Amino acid sequence: MHVELLEYIAANTSSEYISDLRSSYSCLKKRAVLRCISRIDPEECSLREWNNAANYITGQHVHFQCRSDAKAFILEHLDQSTC
């Protein structure tokens, strides 16, 4: 992936700004972000990008040693908070 992960997610969920990816957005947007992230191979992005995405999207300060763990954390957070 040649663009930053958060930029990719924003662009592929019709988000005007990266800030639209925060967990306080609408149910429809949460589902779109969940679908988008679920289709991304964890190896396509760096561990730093996955950690940044996990921190930004969930609003929690977390650090993972494995890309797939960071992705799973984001998906679980979105799934639990989806309407």
Cα–Cα distance, 83 to 70 (Å, whole number)? 22
Q: What is the pLDDT of residue 63?
A: 97
For residue 31, the tally of other CB atoms under 10 A from its CB is: 15
In the chain, the percentage of residues whose pLDDT exceeds 70 is: 94
DSSP summary character for residue 23: T
- As a whole number of angstroms, the distance between CA 51 and CA 29 comes to 21
Overall pTM surpassing 0.85 (yes/no):
yes
Amino acid at 63: H
Structure tokens at 49: 């990008």
